Amino acid sequence: MTDPTGARGNGAPDPIAHVRPATPAERAEVHAMHGANRVAWDEAAERYERWLPEAIDLISSGGTNLLPPELELIGDLHGRCARAIHLQCAGGRDTLSLWNLGAESVIGVDFSPRMLELAGRLTAAVEAPARWILADVLDTPHDLDGTADLLYTGRGSLIWLQDLDAWAAVLQRLLTPTGRLVLFEGHPAEWLFDVDADGRWIATDYDYFAGPEASRGWAPEYIDHLALADEDQSWKFARAWTLGEVITAMLGAGLKLEQVREHPTDWWGGHGDVRPEDRGRVPLSFSVVARRG
Ligand SMILES: C[S@@+](CC[C@H](N)C(=O)[O-])C[C@H]1O[C@@H](n2cnc3c(N)ncnc32)[C@H](O)[C@@H]1O
């Protein structure tokens, strides 16, 4: 599977999934595309509900859902992070992993009511000092400005956003003067590769510069099938922002970039079928550490 939107696989269209380029009229309406995504993510929260018991066990036992490169970048937060803000926090499992790493309090922002309802249930079960804010990330409330000692985002968040300049401006305003942004994301090159029956990397027909596309249905490795049939789900809009677009938006907002790294880490478990000798050859994720400029 090439990407977690579930739109493409093995170079051939999935008979159930639907994918098409966004029309020029759709592309012009950022908030309408985000509105459709909000409905799609509320539908997908069904899958996260099934993960809630695991999430409660993980967080209450002091564990973390974060991947090794994220742990290396974030480090030990004890005594150095009064507030961590997690943008696009979904059901709060990664957010509360930051609490377990030592953040004194955590705030998660997401636009899906059903995801935040799950985050609330997780918080109640583990008695965490967490606050959940229902908002489009582009409209993150201004009372959070200048309050993030750690601003964390990633793991499949950026592809849903349709205005990166507006997003980068939010990052810049949320950080404290000494705060750090840690972003860990799927690499856009991931969409260019799939795996053949022998486990070798092959090229997909994805156009790296295509911009937003609309899809229905999800990758079975990630969300899997929902109670709602794919053809009855909301269209959702995603795009593999190029590395250049991401970095340029961050620089444009005035952020001071400290490091940009590319990783072979399979961040969503979509490439388990790659043969061992081919693992590590393709960038599947990237990270950025930055401070407010
Ligand atoms: C793949 S998840 C984020 C990764 C997270 N680590 C997880 O547990 O899967 C994407 C999240 O982004 C949220 N989201 C997508 N677009 C958003 C937007 N414009 N504003 C706020 N939340 C958004 C979705 O509701 C969803 O919870």
The pLDDT, as a whole number, for residue 182 is 98
Taking only the tens place, the pLDDT of each residue in 53-101 is 999 999 999 999 999 999 999 999 999 999 999 999 999 999 999 999 9
- Determine the Cα–Cα distance for residues 238 and 112; give it in Å rounded to an integer: 16
The pLDDT, as a whole number, for residue 2 is 64
The pLDDT, as a whole number, for residue 6 is 56
Which CATH code of 3.90.1580.10, 3.40.50.150, 3.40.50.300, 3.20.20.70 fits the domain covering 20-291? 3.40.50.150
- Determine the Cα–Cα distance for residues 30 and 59; give it in Å rounded to an integer: 35
Q: Residue written as tokens 């840690």?
A: 182
Which residue's alpha carbon is at the smallest distance from atom 19 of ligand 1? 136
In the predicted model, what is the mean pLDDT of residues 179-196? 96
Which residue's alpha carbon is at the smallest distance from atom 14 of ligand 1? 88
Spatial CB neighbours of 67, under 8 Å, sequence gap ≥ 6: 184, 265, 267
Paired with 8 in beta bridges are 13
The pLDDT, as a whole number, for residue 16 is 42
The pLDDT, as a whole number, for residue 231 is 86
pLDDT at residue 272 greater than cutoff 50: yes
The pLDDT, as a whole number, for residue 11 is 36
pLDDT band at residue 17 using 50, 70 and 90 as cut-offs: low
More confident residue, 219 or 78: 78
pLDDT at residue 47 greater than cutoff 90: no
The ranges assigned to domains in the chain are: 20-291
- Determine the Cα–Cα distance for residues 138 and 169; give it in Å rounded to an integer: 9
pLDDT at residue 5 greater than cutoff 70: no
The pLDDT, as a whole number, for residue 222 is 74
More confident residue, 69 or 230: 69
Closest approach atom of ligand 1 to CA 34: 19
Residues with CB under 6 A from ligand 1: 34, 37, 41, 88, 90, 93-94, 110-112, 115, 136-137, 155-157, 160-161
pLDDT band at residue 40 using 50, 70 and 90 as cut-offs: very high
- Determine the Cα–Cα distance for residues 121 and 128; give it in Å rounded to an integer: 11
Taking only the tens place, the pLDDT of each residue in 136-177 is 999 999 999 999 999 999 999 999 999 999 999 999 999 999
115 alpha carbon – ligand 1 mean position (Å): 9
186 alpha carbon – ligand 1 mean position (Å): 13
pLDDT at residue 246 greater than cutoff 60: yes
Closest approach atom of ligand 1 to CA 41: 25
Mean pLDDT of the chain: 93
